[in-house]
Structure 1
Amino acid sequence: MKAFVIDSYKGPIHAAEVPTPTVGPRDIYVKVVAASVNPLDQLVRSGEFKQLLKYPMPVILGHDVSGVVTDIGTEVTDFAIGDEIYARPRDLRIGTFAEYIAIHQDDAAHKPKTLSFEEAAAVPLVALAAWQMLVDRAHIKPGQKVLVHAGAGGLGSTVIQLAKHLGAHVATTAGSASTELVTSLGADVVIDYRTTDFADMLSGYDLAIDAVGGDNLMKTLTVLAPGGLALGVTGPPDARFATQLGAPAPFKLILSLLSRKVRSAAKKRGVRYSFFFMQASGEHLRTLAELYDAGHLRPVIDTTFPFDKTVEALAYVESGKTKAGKVVITQN
């Protein structure tokens, strides 16, 4: 089958003919209809997590998928041939930039009925991340205050919507061209990051989600209320990340040292910092499908590319041309 692979870390992504996936007893075999591009694809390609996530080369990239089940393993109970699904396959089993993929049934859910395949493919990773940040990690309650940077992006636009559904007050940073979009998604406060310092405008936030890193992350700590939590999406990683991936003890120490500066700064302010890396979950996707079908959440799509233009789709995202939401790759 045709797929888009890298042969080595930091190497170019290119089209290749690869063997069709093997279907395990608890796997569903999916004809890919659409996939979407995430910053995580570039992080895997660059070898950012190569000491913790050891992908055998060549590796097919792609973390989001929607499609149709064409075969099932002998122990599959939740799906049947012909089902329309969406998923973020678990780490070390990614590979949605391909004609077919085998996915563990626990990582998939039936596609939201109200969404097209293209819309559904834009959802899994960012929706799972938003749910796990807001519900599982921060336990956001009505009336609490949430700051999310880059609100027009795929993750930010989803966090805004889910946080509002949970009853939170939401602030976001975005360019002036995106003000109307993020306001329509539910943002209560929109700060133009090009002209205004968010740290001068905000205070007392219970949760802040940072996908920028560096000085922006350190400044984000200053707007948190005592006991507030900052979640870093781009790093620095911490010992919890090593635990999540089941890494050996030495990696926990290494990652703890990498995040020591920001954790120390957080402690001095009486707040908390943690690196965030989402986990595959079909159970969460089933809950999220209900929210999409009920109209509480909606996908935001920047543009679509045909499957043959997958290389161009990744280059488009990496160059920073995305204005809002996700880039989707279709095989219609």
Structure 2
Amino acid sequence: MKTCFKALTLLTVCCVFAGTANAEYTFRKVFVGGDRVVIYGTPKVYIQDEQVRVKWPGTWKYQIAGKRMTGGNLNVDKKFKYGSGFEHSDSSNGLKVQLKGEHSKNDQTGNNELQMVLSVEFSYKGSTAKLATKNISQEYKKIPSDVYLGSFPKSFAHRFQAAREWSTNTGHSHAFPTFAESKEEVKRNTFQVVAFPANVAHKSDVLISDLKKPKSDLERVMRAHRWGSSQKKRALPDFNINRAGDKYGIVWFPLSVTEKPRDIAASELNNTSNPIELFKSVHKWAVKHHYVSGYPNGEAAIRNGKQYYGVILIKPGKAEVANVTARK
């Protein structure tokens, strides 16, 4: 069977915005294709500080030699920085769809002009075609820096992931949750984080086997802490995992950011072993004693019949506490 694709062009989207305002660009419903291949969906581009995020929960279908065939789901959710781009692929019934995106920033007119180029390529039995639509311009809505683009993170791990994502979107080097927000703040989808300035914290992917395959959230915190100590650093998990599924994300920062590890009696931390409540109690204890914040390092011991938890206290001026509101 001879494969034939109709000729198609590419999609270019230009949006102009002033200054360094955070912005959300939402493209109206776009149909990409021709007689042979069609993509359905509503692509969206979010801009928050220096981070670009493309979300396209679309679907695609194709027709070859007059025979109608099904395609698949795009489910694009990619993040990249100014001057770079992204790629996303999906395959079905021998046909591969690859979505490519890139953009640049231009200051020549006194405004920042964001140019987004999205091109779609389909490959089938060695033949490739590019798909796209006409040029589209879309007004933007401002997105404050204290907004997390996503649903409210309820679980322990999801909160760490959300804090990490928010930090990378807003120019911080890392953030971790305190879990100390009030009930009223939770009703407003707001959660509290400790944010480190740029270039303070750094991320490494560490083999799960090197972390002794932790079986619980708090053990994962402890294994990250011990890994950091072996490297003469402080470290926390970000609760992300690499694509291969064999490495956990660990965020580390210099010893100078914190005090030496300290043991605090469980009686001073509301006698809790629940990870969320323990993080909350340690943060409140730290603030009460004039630190920016603190967190349990996962270590525990019993001495003279009393339970103690290991904690890390963050020195004044080394980080800041921020309230972040989740918004889809």
TM normalised by structure 1 equals 0.25
Structure showing greater relative contact order (alpha-carbon pairs closer than 8 Å, 6 or more residues apart): 1
Normalized per residue, the structure richer in helix is 1
